[in-house]
C-alpha cells in the first residue's frame, strides 16, 4: 500500500519543513503549500488523505480553504487539522463551523500532532 499523503499548508517555511520532516519520519508522504490558494489547488488536484492547515495565510485564509473543501462532496471526507497561532475560543468555533476536524494552537507538541494524524489515517 502506498504511504498516506498529507498536505501541509502554512506560510511559514520553517513550520512546513519541520512538519514534513516529522511526518516523513513516521512514514507519510508530504505535499507543501505556502498560501491558501496553493493549498486549495493542491487539495483538489492531489487529493491528499489529510490536510494540516494554518489559518493566517496569504490569498485565502485557512478557514476559507476548509469551508470550500468541506462543503464540496468531492473533498469533504478529507480530515483537516487546523494548526494556528489563533488561540481564542471564537477562533476554535470558526474552525468547527468551517469543518475542521481538529484544532491545534502554536506552539504545539509534535507528538500530539503526529498522534492525531495517526488516529485519522491508521484507523
Angle, nearest 10°, between helix axes 62-70 and 36-46?
30
Is 88's pLDDT higher than 90? Answer: no
**Residue with the three cell numbers 500532532:** 113
Model pTM? 0.93
| Domain-wise residue ranges, the chain | 5-121
68/98 Cα distance (integer angstroms):
8
- Partnered with residue 9 across adjacent β-strands are 33, 53
Would strands 50-53 and 29-33 be described as parallel, antiparallel, or unpaired?
unpaired
5-121 CATH fold: Rossmann fold (3.40.50)
Render pLDDT for 22-77 as a digit per residue (tens, 0 to 9): 999 999 999 999 999 999 999 999 999 999 999 999 999 999 999 999 999 999 99
For residue 84, name the pLDDT band (cuts at 50, 70, 90).
Answer: confident
91/48 Cα distance (integer angstroms):
25
Position with higher pLDDT, 106 vs 4: 4
**Residue with the three cell numbers 498536505:** 7
Amino acid at each position: 500500500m502506498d504511504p498516506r499523503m498529507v498536505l501541509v499548508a502554512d506560510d511559514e517555511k520553517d513550520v512546513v519543513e519541520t512538519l514534513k520532516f516529522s511526518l516523513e519520519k513516521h512514514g507519510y508522504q508530504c505535499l507543501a503549500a505556502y498560501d491558501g490558494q496553493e493549498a486549495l489547488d493542491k487539495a483538489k488536484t492531489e487529493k491528499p488523505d489529510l490536510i494540516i492547515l494554518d489559518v493566517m495565510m496569504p490569498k485565502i485564509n485557512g478557514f476559507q480553504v476548509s469551508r470550500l473543501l468541506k462543503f464540496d462532496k468531492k473533498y469533504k471526507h478529507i480530515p483537516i487539522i487546523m494548526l494556528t497561532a489563533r488561540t481564542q475560543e471564537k477562533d476554535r468555533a470558526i474552525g468547527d463551523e468551517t469543518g475542521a476536524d481538529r484544532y491545534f494552537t502554536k506552539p504545539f507538541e509534535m507528538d500530539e500532532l503526529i498522534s492525531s494524524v495517526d488516529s485519522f489515517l491508521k484507523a
